[in-house]
Chains A and B, each alone.
Chain A
């Protein structure tokens, strides 16, 4: 079972207060911690588990600038065997189809039974790349996967639907799956763990080597002409309770009691 996993480095925004640049085209990323995309973390874990159970090797691929190496090192520390970095800042303003095209060129000549991506990225949230890749590769696929059971040449997968419902599918291999969070419990990676894999060589490539022209990537190759970002208005909706912590909690307690359900 040879598995390719596509990962991406994204800014960690859960606890961050985001700011937007002057032109309103991008968020300011300088002060943000960069990490492997949460969905991709589950995808790497799933790949490593399948490898542990069935043998084979795991290759991780990412597309981004030099700093994206971090996402690859994390994956290697989790148990991936090889890594490919498409080192190309030109993809910065690519749409999902552009990113998928870049990855497609890098993986199309690899031999694999399974290609995994995260179901979406926490930044743009297009939720498109994995499924587009499947179409480019001409392979069967399933998105939002929360369970994989490998059989001989085929697998049973569970897809997450709405309202606590899942669907069960059978898919022949090779295939592409996009992985939903919660499918497994990703192993923890320590700094020491990353240190241990620092000598594994990362194969680098770029758009030129992949035969992609400037017209095909970045803004020029994108279906989006421009974007204007803004912060959603604060306090639209909630009445923010003010005062000391004790006063706030007293008010809260009163609101709860006034509902008369206790």
Chain B
């Protein structure tokens, strides 16, 4: 007998002090559902921000149209080049000095998603609500978390980080209000707990006890999972199993990272729970963002890979020099080469995330197809601190609305905010204008 019953999209597996959201399952679609009644596949949106600009000589292809041979920095994305668009000539005028003098790193990061020039100050900070938060406020009611703010580099929130600009500007991407940035979560365990722990129901004692016994969160919800499995078909059972396995893998990654850190010389400034290895840390954070998107825990995420202006060294790839000093290479080939290596290393990590998103099926498409994942920076040439032709890569098809696999070069001085206006529209939050936009971004849509 066929019924029109369906599993609620908001079903959680629950256990003592834990709740695990579920991915999109076929059982969530009512039997005999028509196209019109098919459960909405949400569109997700994420920004991955890398600091200090990018070596644009090795980022921009010398052609337009269909993506063919990729420049050196983008080579790690070779297998994904039908899944993204590379956008040229987008400009953030609000990142420029505009009479405020030095401080391009502070300005470019604070203006990146807010679209306004931040006030030059170390105390009474002021920018504007970032567009991701405008979207989050609209679509966030449908998800457990309005948005996720994720990062990888510990950074202070006060003091002078760039020529009189507060560290709040260089160390945050998302702004809840014009005076309230949203600091990124840096610790994978904290992110894991936020995503999967039922904090409100857990007393401090219970929380301590859970940490003591290091039980898998899946153990806590296992009886609920078993009960649910009885009601699922074979396909959904497999999906559920894969999903819970991926949650368990993240748990294991975190445990491994914590054990690794225990062996590290305490002289290293690494907080408990954060992997020492950059790539491992990146993989962990993006794995959890993946699960958050997959389970529709949130539809909006920002990922500040390292803070703007960072002088982090990349010994992982044999570069002991600080990132920021390197970008002021004054056109010295050896220094430019190191910048290109760092840029490529970042893209390698990003490619891994896109592959993961693409591997997760959602109906007849995949999680990447149903997303808009932007990878970019607030500066183009880090040597000269340029705010035009910002490196911008948009992966995903926004739920089948975008045509991908192309290099699209807009006319110079095209506002980056035009892209935000387009993205807001695709997220179901249409606006007439945002920041200094003068329209929507043309050329992305299928039609």
Same complex for A and B? Answer: no
Q: Residues on B close to A: CB < 8 A?
A: none
Q: Residues on A close to B: CB < 8 A?
A: none
